[in-house]
Amino acid sequence: MKIEIWSDVACPWCYIGKRRFEAALAAFPHRNSVEVTWRSYQLDPSLPEHYDGTELEYLSTRKGLAPQQVEQMFGHVAQQARDEGLDYHFDKVVVANSFTAHRLLHLAKVHGKQDTAKERLLSGHFEHGKDIGSREYLESLGAGLGIDAAELEELFTTDKYADRVRFDFEEGRSLGISGVPFFVIDRKFGLSGAQPAATFTAALHQAWQDANPLVLVDSADGGACGPDGCAI
């Protein structure tokens, strides 16, 4: 069973959704037969490499909301994150364009380290105030994953994997995805948002049953019991 997750590194609900999905997957009896792929999505592709301002200022300007309203939103999302064991610090978030971080995720996928890279990027951004637009930070993260220095150098001096990132954007749009996180199971089932773990559990079981239907082999010679009694 293949699960594709469209997500942005700069999306607070994406990290919460990741945790809830992981909780459901951990309890899923067929989890070893599930392949998870992270697909790229950007909430704001127009962001400069670095934004000269705080997350509060950025969202207030972009959404046209009063700072007090944005602070209330931060409080609500931070509480949801705490419920999943995450420690958000919106006052430390560095606002930056996530395109290069998505390219790094595609490089990490080649090395079988995509999920680990995604986890570290999300944690760095929301819990530790790391700059996801910084070459120095991304190089350090890549090196920590065991990626060769020459490959990281190529990533930052060329546009390698940029086409794959853009392909993810286009494919997401073709599927009607307009917000993240968005979970697609076997290209048959779609779940939008950071759903409760129970919802992910139900979707996993439904998708598995759809992909592996029970085949009934009937035999006239087999004894059986029913509501009206047992065959003699």
0.85 exceeded by pTM: yes
pLDDT, tens digit, for every residue of 39-67? 999 999 999 888 899 999 999 998 899 99
Question: Mean per-residue pLDDT for 110-122?
Answer: 98
DSSP string, the chain: -EEEEEE-TT-HHHHHHHHHHHHHHHT-TTGGG-EEEEEE--S-TT--SB-SS-HHHHHHHHHT--HHHHHHHHHHHHHHHHHTT----GGGPPPB--HHHHHHHHHHHHTT-HHHHHHHHHHHHHHS---TT-HHHHHHHHHHTT--HHHHHHHHHS-TTHHHHHHHHHHHHHTT--SS-EEEETTTEEEESS--HHHHHHHHHHHHHHHSPPPP---TTS--EETTEE--
Residue 17, pLDDT above cutoff 80: yes
Residue 18, pLDDT above cutoff 70: yes
Mean pLDDT of the chain: 94
pLDDT, tens digit, for every residue of 164-200? 999 999 999 999 999 999 999 999 999 999 999 999 9
CATH number of 2-211: 3.40.30.10
Instruction: Note the pLDDT of residue 61.
Output: 92
Residue 208, pLDDT above cutoff 70: yes
Average the pLDDT over each of 106-110, 153-157, 201-205, 221-225 and give the range with the smallest value.
Answer: 221-225
